[in-house]
Structure 1
C-alpha cells in the first residue's frame, strides 16, 4: 500500500495541518505498521518564506503560488505508482483565485483521488463553485463531516450523491487525570471556568463572550474566562496582535479584565483535552452560521465538555439530542443567561458532559480511520470501473505517424496530397505548420511516438513559423514548393493557428531550449490580437494566451489581454444571439467548436460567471445543431449555415470534427460526463465510420485521413489539414481516457471489499483482514 496525503501539516500551526496528521495516524492505527512513512507519504503545502522542520513522512512540498510544483507533484505520484491521493481541501491553502492552482495537479493525476472538503458554502462565489465542482468531478470519492455539507454538495455544487461520504471529524484517544486533579494543576480549583480555544481572528466572536462576563461575574465573581490559542498566522502578518489587544482592552473597559486570561500558545492535544475536561463550560461564540466543520467543537464533544455555542451549521448537528446548548449569534445577553442557568444547576452541567462524552466515543480517530479505509476501497473500484466504462465507449486506432512523416520535408509540412502521395504543386502554409507544431507538442507531452523523431519534426515546423513571421509580428501564410512566399501577409486565421501551436509548446516545449524562440515569436505576434476581427481568430488567440499563462501565470499584461479578448468574444455573442440561435455569428461554418472551447479554457485563468454561462449555452447549442440521430453531423462547408435558412450537410470537414473533440473534452471538465462524454465519443467516432455515410475517414494503411465527406462520398485525398485534425483528435482522446482511467490489470478487485484487501496487502490488522467491508453509510459510523 502506498498512499499520499496532501494538505497542510505540522509543525505548521493550522487546523488543516492537525487534521491531516490526525487522519494519517488514524489510518495507521488500523494497520500492521508502526510509522506513517511505512505506508504513506505526506505532501505539505509550504509558503516559500516558511522553513518548517517536517517529520520524516513529509517527502515533498508544494509552494502554493508556483504552478509547476503542482504539475511536478502529479508527475511524481503517477511515476511512483501511488495507490491513491487523499486531499484535504480548503480554498485558502492553495494558490490562484479560490485555490484554483490545485487543478493543475488534479488534471494531470493518473491515480484515484479522495477529497475531504473542509469548507462547503451555501452561497459560493462563481470561482468557489467552479473550483470545488471541478475537484469533485475529478474525485472518485468525497468526504464531508456533516449531513448539511452533504446536502450542499448535492444541491449547490451538483456533486454526484453516490460519491459523497459523511464521516464526522475525529477526536484523539487521550487519557487525562481526574477533573479535580486537573483543576488543581491548572490553578482553576477556586474558579468557575469558561474556556475557548483555537487560532484567534475576528471571525471567532470572542468579544461576545467577553461582553457576557459582567452579568456572570456579578453573580459568580470567581468566574475566569480562559482563551487559549495563538493568533492566526495570516492575521499576525496583516494586522499583528490587534485583535488580541482589542479583546483585552474591551475586558478592561467592561471591568472584567481580571476575569480574562488569554494564553498565546498552540497547545498540544493533551493540553487541550486537559483544559476541556477541567473547564466548567466550553464556549463557542462564532459570529456566523456558515461554518460547516469545526475541529474545536468536535474535540470538545470528544473530551466530554459542557458546551454552549452559537447555532452555526456544525453545532446544529453535533449538539443535537441534548449534547450542548445554543444561543443566538452576537447575543451576549442570551449567552450570559444560559451560562448563569448552568452555573446554578450542577446536574444540568453534568448531564451535558455525559451526553457529549457518550457521543464523543463514536468520534475517536481509530474509528474514523477505519471508515476512511473503506472509502479507500470504494475509490479504487470507482476509478477502475469509471475508466473501463469510458474506454468501452470508443476504441482508439493504433497511433500511426507514417503520413505525417510522408508529408513533411526539410521545409515544413506540405498542404495537400493526391490520395496519399504528397502534392508538391500546392506548397506549404502557415496554418498546417502551426497545427503540426501543436501536434508534436501534444504527442511529446503524452509520451507518445519516438521522442527524437518528434523533436526533429518540431524543429522543422517551428522553423517554418519563425521564417513566416515578419519583424512587426505579422505572418505570411502560403509558400510555393520553390520556397518563395506567395503573399506579404496571411489570413487572420493562419495567424491565430500559428500562435496556438506556439503557445501550447511554450507550456509544453518539445525541447526546453526551444522556449526562447517560442516566446520571442509569441510576444511579437500576440500584440496584434487586439486588432483582429474574426471571432475564430480571437478564439485561437485566446487559446494561445491560456497556454502562455500556464507557462507564466503571473504575467499581468497577458492576463489583461486575455480578459479583453474574452470580452470581445462575448460582445460577438451578445450581438449575434437571437431566439433559438445561441451563437457568436449569424451563421455556422467551419471550426465552430473552437470558439466555446476558448471560453472554457479561459476559466483556468479567469473566473467570470458570464464566461462559463456563454460557454455552456453555445456548446449546448452547437451540440443540438450537430449531434443528430445518435451521431455527429458537422455543418457542411458547401456554404455557411445561416440562421433560419436551410442547413447544408456536406462538405463535412475533419477540421470541424477536431474542434468538437477538443470542445467536448474540455466541457467534461466543467459540466461533467453527462452528456459531453457521450458527445465526445460520437465526435471521434465520425473518423472511424460513425457518420452519415458510415464511411471510415481514417485510413489505417497510410496513417492518413480523407479530406472530407461529400454528398457523392468520401474525398480520398489525404492532405495535411485532415491528417492533423485526426491526429490531434486521436491524442486528445487518449489524454481524456488516461485522465479518467486506472491502469487496470487482470485480476484487480471488482468490489470495495476485495479492493480494500488488495490495498491493505501486508498492512492489514487481523481484525481488518477478516472484516466484511460494507459501503460507507451516508451518516457517520457510530
Structure 2
C-alpha cells in the first residue's frame, strides 16, 4: 500500500495540520508498519515564506500560489505507483479564488481520490459552490464529520449521496495524571477553571465569555478563565495581536483582568487533554452557526469535559444526549447562567462528563483510522468501475507535431495545405489560430511535447489572435500571406473558436505572464456573446466562460452571463425538440457534439437539472444518429441533415469526429451518461481507420490529418483544421487510454472488502482485516 495525504502538516500550527498528522497515525495504528513513511507520503501545503522543517514522511511541498506545482505533483503521483490520494480540503489553504488551484491537481491525477471536507457551507458563494462541486465530482469517496454536512453536500451541492461517508473527528488516546496533580502543576488549586483553546482570531467569540465573567465571578470570586492558543498565523500577519490585546483590555474594563489568563502557545495534545480534564467547564463561544466541524469540540468530548457551547452545527449534533449544554449566540448572560448552574451542581457536572467520555470512546483515532481504511476500499472499487466504464484500450498513435510545426510560421498557422505542403495562397484564419492556441495549451498542461517549442507556438498564436481583435472586441478572421486582413468582421464561429483558445490558456497559461493579455482579449470579446445568434457560437461562448470561471469561480458577472447563455441554448433545444428529434435545431450539420458538450461543461459551475437533462438527451440522440455497429458516421457536411429528410453521408469532416470525442469525454464524467465512455474509442477510431471507407485519416509519415471523407474517397490535403481536430482529439484521448496493458481493471465482482484486502496486502494480518470489517459494518449500513 502506498498512499498520499495532501494538506497542511506539522510543524505548521493549524487545525488541518494536526488533523492530517493524527489521521496518518490513526491509519498507522491499524497496520503492520512502524512508521508513517512505510505506507504513506505527505504532501504539505507550504508558503515558501514559512520555511518549516518537515519530518521524513513529507516528500513534497506545494506553494499555494504556484499552479505548476499542483500539476507537477499530479504527475508525481501518477508516475510513482500511488494507490490513492487522501485530500484534506479547506478553502483557505489552496491558492486561487476559493482555493480553485487544487483543481489543477485533481483534473490531472489518475488515481482514486478521497476528500475530507472540513468546511461545508449552507449558503456558499458561487465560487465556493463551484469549486467544492468540482472536487466532489472528481472524488471517488468523500468524508465529512457530521450528518448535517452529508445533507448539505447532497442538497446544496448536489453531490451523489453514495459517495459520502460520515466519519467523526477523531480524538487521541491519551492518559493523564490525576486531576489534582494537573491542577497543582498549572497553579489551578482552589480555582474554578473555565477553559477555551484554539487558534485565536475574531470570529471565535471569546469576548462573549469574557463578558459573562463578572456575573460568574460575583458568585465564585476564585474563577479563572484560561484561553490557550496562539493567534492564527493569517491573523497575525494582517492584524498582529490586535484581537488578543482587545480581549485583555475588555477584561480590564469589566474588572475581571485577574480572572483571565491568556496563554499564547500551540500546545501539544498531552497538555490539551490534561487541561480539558482538569478544567471545571470547557467553553465554546463561537458567534455563528456555520461551523460544520470543530476539532476542539471533539477533543473536549473525548476528554470527558463538561461543555457549554453555542448551538453551532457541529455542537448541536455532537452534544445531543446530554453530552453538553447549549446557550444562544452572543448571549453572555445565558452563558453565565449555564456555567453557574454547572459550577453549583457537582452531580450534574460529573454526569455530563461521564456521558461525554463514554461517547468519546467511539471517537478514538485508531477506530477512526479503521473507518478510513474501509473508505479506501470503497474508493478503489469506485475508481476501478469508473476506469472500466471509460477505459479505452485502442493503441494511440505516437504523438507527432511535425505537421503543426510545418504549417506554422512567425505569423500564425496557415489554413491549408496541398497534400502535406503548406499552401500559402490561402493565408491564415482566426478559426485555426484559435484552435491551435487551444491545442498548445492542452499539450503544455498535460506535459506532452517539447515544452520550449510549444511555448514559442503559443506566443505566435496569441499574437495572431491579439492582432486580429478590433478595438471594440470583435475579431477579423482571414489574413493573406502578405499579412493583410481580408475582412473587417469575422464569422460568429471564428469569434467562438478564438474565445475558446483564449479562455483555455487564460485558465491554464503556457507562461504565467501571458494571463494578463489573455484576460484583456477575453474581457473585450465576451461582451459580444449576447449578440451572437448561432447556437454553436453560444456553445463556444459557454465553454469559454467555464474556462474563465475555472480560474475565477467567484466572478458573478461571468456566472450570470454563463447562466443566460445556457438558457438561450436550452431554449433553442426546446424550440426544435420533438418526440423523435432531440436536438437544438431542426437539422444536424457540423461540429454537432460541441452543443451538448457545452452544457455538460456548464454543470461544473451551474447546478441546474434543466441543463443536465438536455445535455444527456441530446447526447443520446447524437450518438444514436452517428454511431452504428461500432463505427462513427459523422453527418456529412455536403448539406445539412434536415429532420425527416435523407441523411447525407459525405463530406465527413475531422472536426466532427473531434466534437464527438470532446463530447463523449465530458459526458462520461456524469453518472447519467457514463455509459457513453465505451463510445469514446469508436469516435477516436474514425481517425485511425474505423470509418465508412476503412481509411486511416491520420498520416503517420507527415503527422498530418486528411481533410475529409468524400463520396469519391479520401481528400488527401492535410490542412490546419483537420490536423488540429486530430491532435486535439489525440491529446484528449490521452486521459483515458491505459498506458500499461497489465494495468488491472475492475472485473465486475470485486467488493469493498476484497479491494481493501488487496490494498492492505502485507500491511495487515487476516485477523486485523476481520476486525476491521466488523468494526466498520455500521458505517457501510449508514
Could you state the TM-score of these two structures normalised by the residue count of structure 2? 0.79
The answer to which of 206-215 and 262-271 deviates more is 206-215
Which residue of the other structure, out of 451, 472, 488, is the alignment partner of 2:486?
488
Deviation at 1:29, TM superposition (A): 2.0
User: Separation in 2 of the partners of 1:626 and 1:478?
Assistant: 35
C-alpha deviation, 1:614, in angstroms: 9.7
Question: 1:30, CA displacement in angstroms?
Answer: 2.2
Name which of structure 1's ranges 64-73 and 469-478 shifts more when overlaid on structure 2: 469-478
The alpha-carbon distance between structure 1 residues 756 and 148, as it changes in their structure 2 partners (threshold 3 A), is: same
8 Å contact 1:438–1:504 — kept in the other structure?
Answer: yes
Q: CA RMSD in A?
A: 5.0
Structure 1 position 361, deviation (Å): 1.8
Cα deviation, residue 766, structure 1: 7.0
For 2:250 and 2:21, locate their aligned partners in 1 and report how far apart those are by CA, in whole Å: 36
Following the alignment from structure 1 to structure 2, what is the Cα–Cα distance between the partners of residues 383 and 171?
30
Q: Which residue of 1 aligns with 2:574?
A: 580
Answering whether residue 659 of structure 2 is matched by residue 662 of structure 1, we say: no
Q: Secondary structure at the match of 1:17?
A: helix
Tell me the equivalent position of 1:674: 671
**Which runs of no fewer than 5 residues in structure 2 stay unpaired?**
577-582
In structure 2, how many angstroms separate the alpha carbons of the residues matched to 1:103 and 1:599? 20
Give the 3 Å change call, closer, same or farther, for CA 362–478 of structure 1 in structure 2: same
Q: Provide the rounded CA distance (Å) in 2 between the counterparts of 1:339 and 1:523.
A: 56
Q: In the alignment, which residue of structure 2 is the partner of 1:179?
A: 179
**Paired residue secondary structure (2:98):** helix
CA distance in 1, matches of 2:193, 2:359: 23
Which stretch shows the higher mean deviation, 718-727 or 38-47?
718-727
Q: Tell me, yes or no, if the aligned pair for 1:166 and 1:780 is still in contact at 8 Å.
A: no
Q: Which moved more, 1:267-276 or 1:469-478?
A: 469-478
What is the deviation of 1:297? Answer: 0.9
Q: Does 2:397 align with 1:399?
A: yes
Partner of 1:699: 696
Looking at structure 2, the residues matched to 14 and 109 of structure 1 have their Cα atoms a distance apart, in angstroms, of 27
When structure 1 is superposed on structure 2, of 170-179 and 654-663 the one drifting more is 654-663
Checking the alignment, whether the CA contact within 8 Å between 2:476 and 2:485 is kept in structure 1 is: no
1:774–1:125 CA distance, 2 compared to 1 (3 A): farther
Q: Which residue of 1 aligns with 2:338?
A: 338
**Residue correspondence of structure 1 range 110-509 to structure 2 within 5 A:** 110-391=110-391, 396=394, 398-399=396-397, 415=416, 429-430=428-429, 431-432=431-432, 435=435, 438-439=438-439, 442=442, 446=446, 451=449, 477=478, 488-489=486-487, 491-492=490-491, 493=493, 497=497
Match of 1:73 in 2: 73
For structure 1, which segment, 324-333 or 131-140, has the greater mean C-alpha deviation from structure 2 after superposition? 324-333
1:592-611, aligned counterparts within 5 Å?
Answer: 594=594
Paired position in structure 2 for 1:99: 99
CA deviation map 1:668-692 (0-9, x unaligned): 6xxx5133444565577456589xx
Is residue 661–residue 680 contact of structure 1 (8 Å, CA) maintained in 2? no
Distance of 2:562 and 2:322 partners within structure 1? 59
Residues of 2 paired with 1:125 and 1:547: CA distance? Answer: 18
Confirm or deny: 8 A CA contact 1:230 1:266 kept in the other structure: yes
Q: Deviations over 1:716-744 (max 9, x none)?
A: 435544454344334323325679x9982
CA contact (8 A) 2:387 2:745 kept: no
**Mean Cα deviation higher: 490-499 or 652-661:** 490-499
Contact 1:414 / 1:426 at 8 angstroms: preserved in 2?
no
Write the distance in 1 (CA, Å) between the matches of 2:214 and 2:41: 51
Q: How far apart are residue 200 of structure 1 and its match?
A: 1.9
The structural deviation recorded for 1:434 is: 5.8
Greater mean deviation of Cα atoms: 33-42 or 346-355: 33-42
Give the equivalent residue in structure 1 for 2:743. Answer: 744
1:199-220 residue CA offsets vs partner (Å, 9 max, x unmatched): 1222222222223333322222
Distance 1:335 1:464 in 2: 65
What is aligned with 2:580?
Answer: none
Q: Compared with structure 1, are the counterparts of its residues 348 and 522 closer, same or farther at alpha carbon in structure 2 (3 Å cutoff)?
A: closer
In the TM superposition, residue 635 of structure 1 has moved relative to its aligned partner by 7.2
The aligned counterpart of 1:90 is 90
3-state SS of 2:362 partner = helix
Q: 1:764: which partner in 2?
A: 764
Separation in 2, partners of 1:389, 1:325: 50
Counterparts of 1:289 and 1:743, CA distance in 2: 51
Instruction: Compute the displacement of 1:546 (Å).
Output: 8.3
Aligned counterpart for 1:717 among listed residues 715, 718, 729: 715
Distance in 1 between residues matched to 2:316 and 2:566, nearest whole Å: 49
Question: 1:574 and 1:373, CA in 2 relative to 1: closer, same or farther beyond 3 A?
Answer: closer
CA contact (8 A) 1:212 1:335 kept: yes
Task: Check whether the contact 1:404–1:723 (CA below 8 A) recurs between aligned residues.
Answer: no
Secondary structure at the aligned position of 2:671 is classed as: coil
Distance 1:647 1:736, change over 3 A: farther
Deviation at residue 767 of structure 1 after TM alignment: 4.6
Deviation (angstroms), 1:337: 2.4
SS in structure 1 at match of 2:283: strand
Q: CA, structure 1 residues 648+597, in 2 after alignment: closer, same or farther (shift >3 Å)?
A: same
Give the distance between the partners of 2:60 and 2:401, measured in 1 at CA: 43
Determine if contact 2:539/2:598 at 8 Å carries over to the other structure.
yes
**Matches of 2:542 and 2:523 in 1, distance apart?**
12
| Distance (whole Å) between structure 2 residues aligned to residue 23 and residue 136 of structure 1 | 20
Moved more, 308-317 or 728-737: 728-737
Give the Å deviation of 1:126: 2.0
Farther-moved stretch of structure 1 (259-268 vs 725-734): 725-734
Q: Tell me how far 1:759 sits from its aligned partner.
A: 2.9
756-765 vs 178-187, which deviates more? 756-765
Query: With structure 1 as the length reference, what TM-score do the two structures score?
Result: 0.79
Say if 2:626 and 2:634, in contact at 8 Å, map to a contact too: no
SS of the counterpart of 1:4? strand
SS at match of 1:230: coil
User: Alpha-carbon deviation of 1:235?
Assistant: 2.3
| Conserved 8 A contact 1:697-1:705 | no
Query: How far off is 1:296 after superposition?
Result: 0.7
**CA offsets, 1:463-494, max 9 Å, x none?**
79979996999877476xxx778973594455
Give how far 1:20 is off. Answer: 0.7
Give the direction of change, closer, same or farther, for the CA distance of 1:316–1:523 in structure 2 (3 Å limit): closer
Q: Contact 1:626/1:633 (CA < 8 Å) preserved in 2?
A: no
Query: SS of 1:114's equivalent?
Result: strand
For structure 1, list consecutive stretches of 5 or more residues without a partner in the other structure.
none
In 1, are the aligned partners of 2:141 and 2:165 still within 8 Å (CA)?
Answer: yes
